């Protein structure tokens, strides 16, 4: 894997954790909203913390789709799970949330699984498929087709 690909995976981790944390901070300022009152939804979206969180989540989406263009989902999603650790640290020290020992243990288990996932290939090797693959030269490609 190249340095550039590590940067993309790092971007996924960083942008998701920061975006979610900023959204949480902003929504704590805004308070409860209801889909029945669109003005409260718009108020939330235009809160500076929520808006910044949305921007970071857009960066996450760009990084995520970039990673999926060269790696399997089963590689990208677990490899980006280190964001759970970063998110927990941000939530604990910036948002002042209490994290139980059981949650820390769960985060540790998830993150340790990353080590197993990264040992395999990032992309499942696939055979090249052509429209006539598997047909002999003398056989028609479709039943009843003329050569």
Residue 28 half-sphere exposure toward CB, CA atoms < 13 A: 11
**Chain mean pLDDT for the chain:** 84
Query: Which candidate, 82, 111, 89, 99, places its Cα nearest to that of 13?
Result: 82
Q: Helix axis angle, 38-45 relative to 48-68, nearest 10°?
A: 80
When pLDDT is averaged across residues 74-86 and rounded to a whole number, the result is 84
pTM: 0.75
| Residue 82 contacts residue 111 (beta carbons within 8 Å) | yes
DSSP code of residue 123: S
Given a cut of 70, whether residue 146 has pLDDT beyond it is: no
Rounded Cα–Cα distance for residues 64 and 124 (Å): 18
């Amino acid at each position: 894997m190249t340095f550039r690909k590590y940067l993309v995976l790092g971007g996924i981790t960083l942008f998701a954790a920061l975006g979610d944390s900023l959204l949480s901070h902003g929504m704590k300022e805004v308070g409860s909203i209801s889909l029945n009152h669109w003005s409260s939804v718009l108020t939330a979206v235009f809160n500076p913390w929520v808006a910044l969180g949305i921007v970071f989540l857009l960066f996450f989406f760009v990084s995520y789709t970039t990673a999926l263009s060269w790696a399997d989902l089963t590689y990208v999603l677990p490899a980006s799970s280190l964001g759970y650790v970063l998110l927990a640290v941000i939530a604990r020290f910036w948002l002042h949330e209490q994290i139980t020992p059981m949650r820390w243990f769960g985060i540790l288990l998830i993150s340790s699984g990353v080590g197993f996932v990264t040992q395999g290939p990032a992309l499942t090797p696939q055979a090249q498929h052509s429209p006539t693959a598997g047909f002999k030269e003398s056989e028609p490609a479709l039943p009843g087709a003329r050569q």
